[in-house]
C-alpha cells in the first residue's frame, strides 16, 4: 500500500490551487447555476463572520477596497457591517463608479445600506479598529502600483489587526512571493480553493492564520476540474502514519534496514553524528557511519548504538572496506559534514558508482553542483535535500531567482537531476522523481528550526524511512511531516535556542503516535 494518496483518496483540504484553477472553479460554479453575486455575497458573509468571531470588541471596521471582485467582497462586508449596526468606514482606492458586473452590484448594496464610501487619500486606519484588506486579489501578476503600495504600507504600520480577503494584497497567490510589498495579515480567509502561495515563502508570514470557506460550491464542480492540472498537495502526515501499522511481535533488526551515513570531515563530526542518530531514532534497524578516523571515539562515546568506521584517504584508495560497507547498506546518506576536499570527493564518487538508494545532502550537493555529470554513474534512486542556497547552486542561478517561484524550481531540480527533490524552506516542497506525480507541500514546522543541524536530522529520518521499505517520495514526505512535528513539539519550550538534537529527542514520540503530526 502506498502511503501517498491516490486520486480517489485525496482529501479536499490537501489540494492547493493556482489562481487560474480557482477562476476555473468559479466559472464552473456559475455555469452550474450559482450566480456571481451570490458567490460574492457568500464570501462577504463568511469574512464578516470571521471579523465578528475574532475581533468583536474592536471598532470601527476599516474596509480597504480595490477594483474588481476583491473590492466587491469588501463592499459586501461593509454593507453587512452597516446592516448590523456596526461602525464601518469604506476606503476606495479605485473609483467605485468604475467597477463592473458583480463588483458594481456590491457597491450598490453598500450604498443602499448607508455606507459612506470615501476615496482614500492616505488616511491612517483607527488603531482600535480592525482592517479588512480587500485591495488586490488573486489576479495580481505585476508589481503593486504606487497608490496601492502606499496603502499596504499604511496598513502594515497600523496597530489594528488585519483580515485579508482571499490573499494578502501584494502577495502572488501562485508562488507566495511579494510583488513589491504585501500586507502582513493577522488572518487570511480564502474561498473556493486553497491558494498555494499562502503556504510557502512569504505567504507563510503574510497570510497569518489561514481560514477557508468553499462558499458551498458543490463537490461535482471540483470533480469537473482537470485532475491532472491539480499539481500541488499538502502532505497529510497523520494519514501516512496511520497506514504504517504496528511492527510484528516477532520483529528483528534485519527487517528494518541498514542506513549508512557518510560524512564528518575534520572539524565537522557533529553533522554526521546528528544524521546517524536521527536515522536510529527514525526506526532503522542498523546504522553505520563512515567518518574520519579522528572522530571514531567521539561517535562511539556519544552514541554507542552506531557502528562507526574511521577511514582515511589512504584507506579509501584501497576501496575494499568502503565497497564492503556500501554493499551492506540498504540506503546511504552522504553529505552531512562531508567537506569539499579530496576525502569527501572520493566518498561521493564511490557511492555514485553504486546502485544503492542515496540521500544526498549538504556538501555532497555542493560537490554535485560543481560537476553535475558525476551523477550519471549512479544506477539507483536518489533523493536530493537542498536548502535554497544549495538549490540555486545546483541550478546555476541566484537564490532570489530560485525563490521567486519555488514550485517551478523544485520541478527544475527534479528534471535536471532525475531525482526526488525536497526543497527546504517555509512550506517545504517535495517533487517525486516520477514526473506524473504532484508536488507535495509540508506546512508544518516553526522558526526555531532556523539553526544548524536541522537538515542533517531530516536527511537521517528520510533514510530511516527508505530503509524500512518506503518508496523515496513517500519516505521524503513522511519524514518532512515527522521532522516538522518533532520540531513543533520541541518549540513548546520556546523557539529561540532550540537545537537540532531537541528535534531528535521528540522523533520517537511523533513516529509512535504519542505526539500529534500536523
Contacts of 196 (CB under 8 A, 6+ apart): 16, 17, 18, 173, 174, 176, 232, 407, 441
User: 215: which 3 cell numbers?
Assistant: 462558499
Provide the pLDDT for residue 515: 76
Order of strands across the sheet that contains 382-384: 15-16, 232-234, 439-442, 428-431, 420-423, 382-384, 358-360, 331-334, 258-262, 286-291, 307-310
Using pLDDT thresholds of 50, 70 and 90, give the confidence band for residue 518: low
Using pLDDT thresholds of 50, 70 and 90, give the confidence band for residue 5: confident
- Which of 84, 37, 41, 93 is closest to 61 using CA atoms? 84
Q: Judge whether 122 and 152 are in contact, CB under 8 Å.
A: no
**pTM score of the predicted model:** 0.95
- CATH architecture of the region 11-234: 3-Layer(aba) Sandwich (3.40)
Share of the chain above pLDDT 70, in %: 99
Q: Long-range contacts of range 150-153, CB-CB < 8 Å, 24 or more positions apart?
A: 150/122, 151/64, 151/91, 151/93, 151/120, 152/181, 152/182, 152/183, 153/181
Provide the pLDDT for residue 227: 63
Using pLDDT thresholds of 50, 70 and 90, give the confidence band for residue 261: very high
Provide the pLDDT for residue 435: 81
**Hunting for cell 546555476 — which residue is that?**
396
134-152 average pLDDT score = 94
Residue 229 has pLDDT above 70, yes or no: no
**Hunting for cell 462586508 — which residue is that?**
77
Provide the pLDDT for residue 133: 98
User: 355: which 3 cell numbers?
Assistant: 546502485
* Beta-sheet pairing, 307-310 with 382-384: unpaired
Q: What b-and-e string marks burial along 248-280, b requiring 16 or more CB atoms within 10 Å of the CB?
A: eeeeeeeebbbbbbbbbbeebbbbbbbbbbbbb
Contacts of 242 (CB under 8 A, 6+ apart): none
244-253 average pLDDT score = 92
251-266 average pLDDT score = 97
Residue 10 has pLDDT above 90, yes or no: no
Cis peptide before 348 (omega within 30 of 0): no
Using pLDDT thresholds of 50, 70 and 90, give the confidence band for residue 194: very high
CA–CA distance, 59 with 55 (Å, rounded to integer): 9
Residue 200 has pLDDT above 60, yes or no: yes
Provide the pLDDT for residue 434: 86
454-464 average pLDDT score = 98
Provide the pLDDT for residue 230: 61
Q: So where are the chain's domains? A: 11-234, 254-511
Q: Judge whether 455 and 417 are in contact, CB under 8 Å.
A: no
Using pLDDT thresholds of 50, 70 and 90, give the confidence band for residue 343: very high
Provide the pLDDT for residue 233: 95
**Hunting for cell 542518530 — which residue is that?**
277
Residue 139 has pLDDT above 70, yes or no: yes
258-262 average pLDDT score = 98
Share of the chain above pLDDT 90, in %: 91
Between 364 and 5, residue with greater pLDDT: 364
Residue 1 has pLDDT above 60, yes or no: no
- Mean pLDDT, rounded, of the chain: 95
Provide the pLDDT for residue 140: 86
The CA-atom distances, in angstroms, between 122 and each of 93, 150, 384, 448 are 10, 8, 49, 37
CA angle 256, 258, 263 (to 5 degrees): 140
Q: The domain 254-511 belongs to what CATH superfamily?
A: Ribokinase (3.40.1190.20)
Provide the pLDDT for residue 308: 97
Span 401-437, pLDDT tens digits: 999 999 999 999 999 999 999 999 999 999 999 888 8
User: 371: which 3 cell numbers?
Assistant: 560537476
Contacts of 128 (CB under 8 A, 6+ apart): 58, 59, 160
- Which of 330, 237, 242 is closest to 518 using CA atoms? 237
Span 40-50, pLDDT tens digits: 999 999 999 99
153-172 average pLDDT score = 98
Residue 206 has pLDDT above 80, yes or no: yes
359-373 average pLDDT score = 97
Span 55-102, pLDDT tens digits: 999 999 999 999 999 999 999 999 999 999 999 999 999 999 999 999
Amino acid at each position: 500500500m502506498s502511503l501517498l494518496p491516490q486520486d480517489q483518496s485525496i482529501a479536499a483540504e490537501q489540494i492547493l490551487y493556482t489562481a487560474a484553477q480557482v477562476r476555473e472553479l468559479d466559472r464552473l460554479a456559475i455555469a452550474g447555476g450559482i450566480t456571481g453575486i451570490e458567490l460574492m455575497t457568500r464570501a462577504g458573509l463568511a469574512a464578516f463572520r470571521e471579523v465578528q468571531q475574532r475581533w468583536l470588541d474592536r471598532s470601527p471596521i476599516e474596509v480597504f477596497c480595490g477594483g474588481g471582485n476583491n473590492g466587491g467582497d469588501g463592499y459586501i462586508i461593509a454593507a453587512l457591517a452597516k446592516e448590523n449596526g456596526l461602525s464601518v468606514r469604506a476606503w476606495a482606492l479605485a473609483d467605485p463608479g468604475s467597477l463592473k458586473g458583480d463588483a458594481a452590484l456590491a457597491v450598490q448594496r453598500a450604498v443602499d445600506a448607508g455606507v459612506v464610501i470615501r476615496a482614500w487619500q492616505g488616511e491612517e486606519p483607527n488603531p482600535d479598529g480592525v482592517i479588512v484588506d480587500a485591495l488586490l486579489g488573486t489576479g495580481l501578476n505585476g508589481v503593486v502600483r504606487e497608490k496601492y503600495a502606499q496603502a499596504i504600507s499604511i496598513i502594515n504600520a497600523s496597530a489594528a489587526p488585519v483580515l485579508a480577503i482571499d490573499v494578502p494584497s501584494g502577495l502572488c497567490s501562485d508562488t507566495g512571493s511579494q510583488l513589491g510589498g504585501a500586507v502582513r495579515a493577522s488572518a487570511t480567509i480564502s474561498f473556493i480553493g486553497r491558494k498555494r502561495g499562502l503556504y510557502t515563502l512569504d505567504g507563510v508570514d503574510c497570510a497569518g492564520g489561514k481560514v477557508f470557506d468553499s462558499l458551498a460550491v458543490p463537490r461535482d464542480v471540483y470533480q469537473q476540474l482537470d485532475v491532472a492540472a491539480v499539481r500541488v498537495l499538502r502532505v497529510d502526515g497523520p494519514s501516512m502514519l496511520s497506514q504504517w501499522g504496528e511492527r510484528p511481535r516477532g520483529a528483528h533488526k534485519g527487517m528494518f534496514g541498514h542506513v549508512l551515513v557518510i560524512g564528518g570531515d575534520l572539524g565537522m563530526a557533529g553533522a554526521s553524528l546528528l544524521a546517524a542518530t536521527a536515522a536510529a531514532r527514525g526506526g532503522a534497524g542498523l546504522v553505520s557511519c563512515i567518518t574520519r578516523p579522528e572522530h571514531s571515539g567521539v561517535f562511539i562515546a556519544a552514541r554507542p548504538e552506531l557502528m562507526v568506521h574511521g577511514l582515511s584517504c589512504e584507506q579509501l584508495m584501497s576501496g575494499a572496506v568502503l565497497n564492503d560497507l556500501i554493499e551492506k547498506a540498504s540506503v546511504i546518506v552522504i553529505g552531512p559534514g562531508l567537506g569539499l576536499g579530496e576525502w569527501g570527493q572520493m566518498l561521493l564518487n564511490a557511492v555514485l558508482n553504486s546502485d544503492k538508494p542515496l540521500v544526498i545532502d549538504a556538501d555532497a550537493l555542493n560537490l554535485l553542483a560543481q560537476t553535475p555529470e558525476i551523477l550519471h554513474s549512479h544506477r539507483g534512486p536518489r533523493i536530493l535535500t537542498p536548502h535554497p542556497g544549495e538549490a540555486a547552486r545546483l541550478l546555476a542561478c541566484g537564490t532570489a531567482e530560485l525563490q521567486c517561484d519555488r514550485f517551478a524550481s523544485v520541478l527544475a531540480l527534479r528534471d535536471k537531476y532525475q531525482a526526488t527533490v525536497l526543497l527546504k524552506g517555509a512550506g517545504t516542497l517535495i517533487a517525486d522523481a516520477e514526473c506524473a506525480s504532484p508536488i507535495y507541500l509540508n506546512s508544518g514546522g516553526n522558526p526555531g528550526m532556523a539553526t544548524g543541524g536541522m537538515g542533517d536530522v531530516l536527511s537521517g529520518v528520510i533514510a530511516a524511512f527508505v530503509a524500512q521499505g518506503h518508496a523515496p517520495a513517500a519516505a521524503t514526505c513522511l519524514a518532512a511531516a515527522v521532522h516538522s512535528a518533532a520540531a513543533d513539539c520541541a518549540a513548546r519550550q520556546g523557539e529561540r535556542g532550540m537545537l537540532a538534537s531537541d528535534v531528535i529527542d521528540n522523533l520517537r514520540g511523533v513516529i509512535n503516535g504519542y505526539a500529534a503530526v500536523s
